[in-house]
């Protein structure tokens, strides 16, 4: 067993960023520009800064995304255009990466291509439970929702957890309910940085899709409905995903402010 300087077991940890042009809510989203740089470029470059990662790849079925990533010196893997879930695309890409490199992957961190404000520390937070506890198979980050507008937004996936911070349920509706409770109600959203153990990612994609997963359109419900656990990790980083043109404009403004503050 090899330990790193933090006393954690050395692992081959890669990030895979699934991306496709045919998003139903925002076609062409990965190459939509944020302050002059395609969104997928922001995600790729920020993810690359995480020191715990052995490598970073973009998994896509679109030649234009592959060509862009390669133009900035990145690595892209072409996948089938039939995948309905990001996890399916990530699993195919992982198999191809292992075949090409001859190295077995230990952990795959799935970073959604619409998270342009991702910071390396978020990835570090997400993978730590897998490094520390061999019984944990998949992890999600979660962050507090900001106000009623986010709580009612169906593009924001909400999550409620048990006393171990394992997910009980994910929904696009506002959960938990505030109708019969006058105190402070904790409301959290899923942040789509999702590390899987290698074998569990393969197993997940062998499991049959489940009713609640289909109803809510949330991959992680397949895990719960089949009797497995999803460990949620609280994160205080202030990030926003991009699901619409309005989100793109909002995030661009935030990132300009972020860059300005970094230069002070």
Where in the chain are the domains? 13-259
Identify the band that residue 243 occupies on the pLDDT scale cut at 50, 70 and 90: confident
Identify the band that residue 264 occupies on the pLDDT scale cut at 50, 70 and 90: very low
pLDDT at res. 32: 93
Question: Averaged over 88-99, what is the pLDDT?
Answer: 96
Beta bridge partners of 33: 38
pLDDT per position as a tens digit, 162-219: 999 999 999 999 999 888 887 888 899 999 899 999 999 999 999 999 999 999 999 9
Question: Averaged over 139-143, what is the pLDDT?
Answer: 95
pLDDT at res. 219: 93
Among 7, 234, 201, smallest CA distance to 95 is for 201
pLDDT at res. 89: 94
Strands (E) across the chain are located at 13-19, 33-34, 37-38, 55-60, 76-78, 107-111, 139-144, 158-161, 167-171, 188-191, 193-197, 231-234
Looking at domain 13-259, its CATH class is: alpha beta
Identify the band that residue 116 occupies on the pLDDT scale cut at 50, 70 and 90: very high
pLDDT at res. 23: 75
pLDDT at res. 235: 92
pLDDT at residue 259 greater than cutoff 80: no
pLDDT at residue 4 greater than cutoff 70: no
Q: What is the dihedral of CA 87, 88, 94, 100, to 10 degrees?
A: -150
């Amino acid at each position: 067993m090899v330990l790193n300087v933090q006393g954690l077991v050395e692992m081959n940890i890669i990030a895979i960023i699934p991306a496709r042009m045919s998003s139903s809510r925002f076609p062409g989203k990965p190459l939509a520009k944020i302050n002059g740089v395609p969104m997928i470029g922001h995600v790729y470059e920020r993810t690359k800064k995480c020191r715990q990662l052995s490598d970073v790849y973009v998994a896509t079925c679109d030649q234009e995304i592959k060509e862009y990533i390669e133009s900035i010196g990145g690595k892209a893997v072409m996948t089938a255009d039939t995948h309905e879930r990001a996890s399916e695309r990530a699993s195919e890409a992982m198999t191809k990466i292992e075949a090409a490199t001859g190295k077995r992957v230990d952990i795959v961190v799935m970073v959604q291509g619409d998270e342009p404000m991702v910071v390396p520390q978020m990835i570090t937070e997400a993978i730590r439970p897998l490094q520390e506890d061999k019984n944990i198979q998949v992890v999600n980050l979660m962050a507090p929702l900001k106000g009623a507008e986010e709580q009612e937004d169906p593009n924001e996936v909400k999550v409620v957890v048990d006393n171990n911070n394992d997910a009980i349920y994910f929904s696009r509706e506002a959960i938990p309910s505030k109708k019969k409770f006058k105190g402070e109600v904790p409301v959290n959203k899923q942040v789509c940085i999702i590390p899987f153990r290698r074998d569990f990612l393969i197993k997940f994609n062998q499991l049959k899709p489940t009713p609640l997963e289909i109803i809510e359109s949330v991959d992680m419900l397949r895990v719960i409905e089949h009797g497995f656990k999803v460990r949620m990790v609280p994160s205080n980083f202030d990030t926003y995903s991009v699901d619409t043109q309005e989100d793109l404009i909002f995030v661009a403004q935030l990132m300009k402010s972020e860059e300005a503050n970094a230069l002070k």
